[in-house]
Each structure stands twice: as structure tokens, then as C-alpha cells.
Structure 1
Amino acid sequence: MAEPTGIGGADLLTLTAWLSPAFPVGGFAFSHGLEWAVECGDLADEAGVRQWIGDLLRFGSGRDDAILLSSAWRAARAGDDAALRDVAELALAMQPSAERRLETASLGNAFVKIVRAAWLPGFWDGPPGEDVAYPVAVGAAAAQRGLPLEPTVQAFLSAFVASLVSSAIRLGPIGQTDGQRILSALIPVVLEVAAAAGRLGPDDLGGAAFRSDIASMRHETQYTRLFRS
């Protein structure tokens, strides 16, 4: 079966709805470790925030989530439940901290619940109470809905960047205009990572954004917190 590549009309609107800040997954409650990075002085201005998020896309959780989404999409599209289950288990097992696991599972579980209730009845028929990582849930839902892979990854990563920018604005080191400049500057990186993810699989997972991973661990014991991660 040939893979569809274009997107528009209902497909575009579906992705826009699923990955909008208005979609009730609770992403506003998580900072992905940014709160600790701001607290300790790692992030203090627009340039620092832009580099931090860009590194996550190229070398860290953004890249890995894109690969996990792509792997889940391919497994779901092929009807390979065993492969999808393997990807789902790996996505949870490889989280570098308790809060990062909480983040991806909370977003994924909420996404599954809403998609099942409003968009795809019967979606994700795993055991009740089983956690689902966010990128895996999005990839599987996109495949079941018939959405093309690369635009789905692009939209997912764009939403990831927007969520981190929103967190940074609320934490104080950047303002609204700074945030828009970051979103604009990182579009080519989003497109690059999304294109590469379509050619990669679980064997290619792995990152080098260690400072972000450490930030998520340190946040677990941070004294004053606005965010859950």
C-alpha cells in the first residue's frame, strides 16, 4: 500500500485540533524540566531557550518522540499489534526520570481517552488502566484515522516546541515576542527532524541532551514549583 504524503481539508483540521493547546490533555501543567533550568540559571534569555529547545529536537526527547510516533504509526497502519505493543512498552521504559514518565503517560492517557470518546470509538483497546506514552498514542491514532506520517510528526513536534515556549514565557526568562521568534526560528529544525524520523526506528533511539534529563530529575525535589515536570 502506498503511503499518502499530502495533507489538507479534514486531515489538516484533525491534526490542528488534536495538537492544539485547547485539546484537553493537560500539557500546560508540564515544563519538561525547564522550570529547574530556569531556577538554576541555565535559561535566562531568548537565545538560551532557543538553543535548549533546538537541542531537544535534534539530540534529545523531541527526536526520540518523533521516532516513537513514527514507529507506532507504522505498526498501527500495518495492523501489527505485537509491534505496537513493543513500541508502547519501550516508550515508557526509556523515560529518563519519574517526572518525564509521568508527563508522557499523563498526556498519552488523556489523549487516548478524548480520542476514543470523540473521534475514534474503540481506539486503543489495551488493558484498563495501562499507561500509554503520548507520541505512541498520537502515532497510533493518526494511523487509524488515515493521516499521513510526516505531517503528523511535523504537527506533533511543532506542538512540542510551542508547549516548551509557553512554559518558558510563564517562567519569566522570555516574553511573548521572544517566544514567537523562537517558534519561527525552529520551524526548519522541526521539518528536518520530522523528515528523518520517517526513516528511523527503535534501533535509532537515543539522545545526548543530558542537561535536560538531569533537569527533569532535579525538578522532582525542587522546593517551589509551578509545573508537574
Structure 2
Amino acid sequence: MAQDNTKIPVTPGRMVRLARLLQFSDSTLPVGSFAFSNGLESAIQMEVVTDGKSLQEFVEMAVRQAARMDGIAFLHAHRAAAAGDHDGILAADHGLWCRRVGEEQQQMLARMGRKFAELSLRIGDFPQLIDWLAQIKSGQTPGCFPVGQAVALAQLGADEAEAFVVHQYAIAAMILSAALRLMRIDHLETQRILFTVQERIEQDYEAVRDLSLDEMSVFAPVFDVLVAHHTTAHVRLFMN
């Protein structure tokens, strides 16, 4: 059988863009995610999460919630960045901040957002993040992590679907990384959960892609209780 030596055409910059998207989705990206468990610590303390099965259910709940709150702001910020609409970026930032209930949740968004902007500007050329970071430092905008992430990914040339995948992946990876330090579970099981949870990414994207900023909302009372519990916990490893 003759070997097909036909070369696959490569769009200029596509491979570099893919490599950088992988870098920005890496769970080891130093933006402070290691300090947060996204409610998992309280879920374990209150025995909502006790094993691999309940951990997977928790992660699925978290990414579903993230899509309908952070994910909507993320998509609007990505579109605004692609259009050069700085006011649109700020609207997404303020919109998400006002809807994130709880001091620790807001703290997570702001700390990771600022660190992400500072990191991005150290390693690459992201002109829209220069103004955004300056406004964070002056107190004009809160600096939510998903918004900064969306701006950077838009400037890397990622379309909104690709960028949304990076955002959702980061949520799941952060929780599973925390799980390895909080419960008796191994890397093989967390990788299985991550692999399985990613099956819902297209479903979540289709559910929120056409929603407005005013339609950001979630109904997860158990999660809200867990976040509130963590605020007053006497012993804790994570900031939330």
C-alpha cells in the first residue's frame, strides 16, 4: 500500500496559539488557584463529598454553576475584547462581581484576576490588560479572574468556544487539585473524573452562549451553604 505523504496545511500561528492555550489552561499556572478549593473543603468537612462518586457530582455541579455565572461574563468579556470594547470588558467585570455572593468568593475572583493580569503582562504582549490592571489597582474595577482570562485568550486569537473550554477546564482542574490534598483519592481517579466531566462542555456552552449579562444566575443552595460554612470554620487549609 502506497504511503500518503500529503502534508496537512498549517494555518500560520495556529500551532503557536494552541500551545499557548494549553499553557493558559495548565493547572500549575501561578495565579493562586492552589489557595482555593471552590467550596470543596467544606463539602468534605460536612460529608457532602465522601468518595470518588460524590466528588464527581460536586465537580459537575461546580462547572455547571460556573458556566451560568462566570461563563456568561467570560463570553461577554471575550467578545468585548475581540471588538476592542473596553467598556464592555468593564461591564462584564462589574456584572460578575455584583452577582458573586460571599466575601471569600469575591476574594478568589479578585486575587486570581490580578495575579493573572500581572503574569500575562510579564510573559507576553496583552495591551488590553494594561489598562484593565491599572483600573484594578486604582479601584475602578474589581478585576475578576474570568474576565482577565477572557481578554487574554481573545488577544491570543482563540475563538470564544476554544476560550470557554479553557475556562471550564480550569474550574474542574482547580477543584480536583484541591481534592488530592483534602481526601483519600489518587491521581488516577481525579484524572478519570476530569475526563468524564469534560463531556458536558459543549452542553454548557450551548446553554449560555446567547444569554445576556443580566441573565447571569445560579441556583445552588447547597454550594452557598458550604461557602458560608467555610467562612467560619475553625480549621481550614484553603481560603475558600
TM-score for both structures, normalised by structure 1: 0.90
**How far apart, CA to CA, are the structure 2 residues paired with 1:90 and 1:186?**
27
Question: Shift of residue 106 of structure 1?
Answer: 0.9
Given the alignment of the two structures, is residue 23 of structure 1 paired with residue 34 of structure 2, yes or no?
no
Distance 2:194 2:171 in 1: 10
- Offset from partner CA, 1:166-221 (integer Å, 9 cap, x none): 11121115332221221121111123213433333313210012211221121111
- For structure 2, the residue ranges without an aligned partner over 5 or more in a row are 1-12
Q: Deviations over 1:32-70 (max 9, x none)?
A: 111011011111011111111112222x23431211110
- Measure, in 1, the Cα distance between the counterparts of 2:111 and 2:230: 17
| Structure 1: runs of 5 or more not aligned | 1-6
Alignment counterpart, residue 147 of structure 1, candidates 151, 158, 162: 158
Q: Higher mean Cα deviation, 186-195 or 99-108? A: 186-195
2:45 corresponds to which of 39, 42, 46: 39
On the 8 A contact 1:27/1:163 being kept in 2, the answer is: yes
Q: CA deviation at 1:8?
A: 4.4
Among 183, 193, 200, the alignment partner of 2:194 is: 183
> Is structure 2 residue 15 aligned with structure 1 residue 9?
yes
Count of aligned positions: 222
Q: Name the structure 1 match of 2:215.
A: 204
Percent identity among equivalent residues?
26
Partner secondary structure for residue 132 of structure 1? coil
* Corresponding position: 1:171 with 2:172: no
Q: Shift of the alpha carbon at 1:78?
A: 1.5
1:120 and 1:196 map into 2 onto residues whose CA distance is 33
In 1: Cα distance, 2:99 partner to 2:190 partner: 30
Deviates more, 1:164-173 or 1:219-228: 164-173
- 8 Å contact 1:66–1:193 — kept in the other structure? no
Query: 1:92: Cα distance to partner?
Result: 1.4
Of 99, 124, 127, the match for 1:122 = 127
| Residue of structure 1 in register with 2:70 after alignment | 65
In 1, the alpha carbon distance for the partners of 2:49 and 2:223 equals 11
CA distance in 2, matches of 1:70, 1:80: 13
Say if 1:173 and 1:206 are closer, same or farther in 2 by CA, change over 3 A: farther
Which protein has greater RCO, CA pairs closer than 8 Å, 6+ apart?
A: 1
| Residues 35 and 227 in structure 1, CA contact (< 8 A), matched pair in contact too | yes
State whether structure 2 residue 235 is matched by structure 1 residue 224: yes
State the TM-score, normalized to the length of structure 2.
0.86
**Displacement over 4 Å in runs of 4+:** none
Deviates more, 1:87-96 or 1:27-36: 87-96
Contact 1:31 1:227 in 2 (8 A): yes
Q: 1:113 to 1:211 in 2, by over 3 A?
A: same
Partner of 1:80: 85
